[in-house]
Amino acid sequence: MASPTITLVTVSPNPSTFGQTVTLTATVIPLGAGTPTGTVTFAISADGPPLTGTLSGGTTSVTVSGLSVGVHTVVATYSGDANFLPSTGNNVIAVNQATTTTSVVSVPDPSGLGQAVTFTATVTPVPPGAGVPGGTVTFFISGSGGGSFTQPVVGGVATLSLSSLGVGTHSVVAVYSGDVHFLPSSGTDTHTVNPAPAATTTTVTSSANPSVFGQPVTFTATVTPNPPASGTPTGTVTFVVTGTGGGTVVKALTGGTASHTFTSLGVGPHTVTATYSGDANFATSTGTLPTQTVNQSTTTTIVSSNPNPATAGTPVTYVAFVQPVAPGAGTPTGTVTFTVSNMTNSVTGTGTVNGSGFAFFTDATLPAGSYTVTGVYSGDANFTGSTGTNTQVIT
């Protein structure tokens, strides 16, 4: 005949915390000799389907997680076997709300006046509690533009965006409301709002205006705070110079000024714009030099001849050397017209100015006499014309 049994149920840990894994153990005690075999089915009130464990040495255990907060009845039913009769045992499980921590941060910190700031509160269960808290977080922000703001917790996180905060330091308290599974908690932080960048004025000056072709011209931008602000702006200045030989250049401010030298500005008017980048304390500004005038460079023409004196009928080479007058620079182009003449005889020729500034004309037709040699440089787009003279003797 089968022997009766007694089934005892234990719960560990008990009480437990929401999200914590709980172990249920059933021990089947025989009222007679031998060791019961078979299975035990655990039924937990209002929390999921039954769980079944197989006896080994008269005991079996199962684990369960995700139990809701509250008190649950556990009924363990032993199935019995050929030698032992079924029996039932019960116990209760107490599941408490999990404790939490709440942390709060703000980005960016510090911020500028009028800048949007995002406050983020993160609610985290304290082990052995687990899961994802819900509910709400109320942000309490002190100072101008602050107040109390309640936001939902989604995925354990609540966020708030504000752009109304005034200048200064603000205390931030984030209070988590708790929910059916998690206890309330709070976190604190501070946030700083800096003053808006001070307005600035950017002025542009030129080292030479007007200048001449080939002359280096230095443009200087000076950035100053508008009163009542004070201090020295930092950052960069972007120079934009229109026209031939100009371009865009970025220079760092040093002591509130930035400079750049252009060496190849073409003839004509140029507009110069300097834009200050701004920094944490000073706002951007732009200055303009409406017109930088670049004129043609003046030149000098030096005339010589070889051989001098020369015998009648001997070829004579007439040479003109054209060069810019400082501060102009570069290589003139164009032609030189040579006139070799006296009261009775004259000859004319043309030479092209080469890359070294020289032009040549050769003649062997003049009779003996003393002649004035005149070289007239034509000028070009960048250089003005000029004239040089010399004397040639033919014997």
Return the CATH number at 170: 2.60.40.10
**Domain final residue pick, 295, 326, 354:** 295
User: Burial letters for 338-350: b for 16+ Cβ neighbours within 10 Å, e otherwise?
Assistant: bbbeeeeeebeee
Task: Please tell me whether residues 219 and 282 are part of one structural domain.
Answer: yes
Tokens 């787009």: give the residue. Answer: 381
Task: Please tell me whether residues 20 and 107 are part of one structural domain.
Answer: no
**Domain final residue pick, 259, 274, 295:** 295
Using DSSP, state whether 272 is helix, strand or coil: strand
pLDDT value for 37: 96
**Domain final residue pick, 73, 96, 119:** 96
Task: Please tell me whether residues 178 and 239 are part of one structural domain.
Answer: no
Task: Please tell me whether residues 12 and 50 are part of one structural domain.
Answer: yes
Mean pLDDT in runs of 10 for the chain (395 residues)? 94 96 96 94 87 96 93 96 96 96 96 91 97 97 96 98 94 97 98 90 98 98 92 96 97 97 97 95 94 98 97 97 97 97 96 97 96 98 98 97
Going from the C-alpha of 389 to that of each of 237, 319, 321, 363, 376, the distances in angstroms are 50, 11, 11, 17, 9
Domain count, the chain: 4
Task: Please tell me whether residues 125 and 211 are part of one structural domain.
Answer: no
pLDDT value for 281: 84
pLDDT value for 114: 84
Helix residue ranges per DSSP H, 11-112 = none
- Quote the domain boundaries for residue 320: 299-394
Q: Could you give the CA distance from residue 139 to residue 105 in angstroms, rounded to a whole number?
A: 11
